[in-house]
Structure 1
Amino acid sequence: MAKVTKDMIIADVLRMDRATAPIFMRHGLHCLGCPASSMESIADAAMVHGLDVDALINDLNEYFVSKGE
């Protein structure tokens, strides 16, 4: 099963499954195509944007669980 962690790069998660984009956006990360997304960890992006990284990680992992991955 795919497991998303805080230290993963945003673009890597998007490559795992593009359907994760709405989850990132729902949590306030709207610039998924910006250069930073290809080198910025989820934790760093959440900190910069003042987001709850644990809630985001939880939602991403729940998505992968629901897919059976």
Structure 2
Amino acid sequence: MADLEKHVSGDMLVGQIVNEHPEVIDTLMGIGMHCLGCPSAQMESLADAAYVHGLDPQMVVDAVNKKIDGGVA
């Protein structure tokens, strides 16, 4: 069963997500978000970062949460 307390949302900062869930780095990079270490990532929400990269924010959130739940995303 998924642990909803571990789930991320689009309004969370990319830097926070990467720090709390390093297992999602490969998922984010795999979908085209390669600037995880850049200064913007520390202050940019996941949804905003998705928009900047031309990605559907909900798809990114879903992929990250799938990975956190132990799935392959």
Normalized against structure 1, the TM-score is what? 0.87
Answer yes or no: is 1:46 the counterpart of 2:50.
yes
Answer yes or no: is 1:27 the counterpart of 2:31.
yes
Structure 1: unaligned runs, 5 residues or longer: none
Once superposed, which parts of structure 1, at least 4 consecutive aligned residues long, lie more than 3 Å away?
none
Q: Which amino acid aligns with 1:24?
A: L
Deviations 1:10-46 (A, max 9, x none): 0101111212111111111101110000000011111
Maintained 8 Å contact 2:27/2:63: yes
Answer yes or no: is 1:4 the counterpart of 2:8.
yes
Q: Please name the residue that 2:20 is paired with.
A: 16
Structure 2: unaligned runs, 5 residues or longer: none
RMSD: 1.3
Higher RCO (C-alpha 8 Å, min separation 6): 1
Identity of aligned residues (%): 36
Q: Please name the residue that 1:58 is paired with.
A: 62
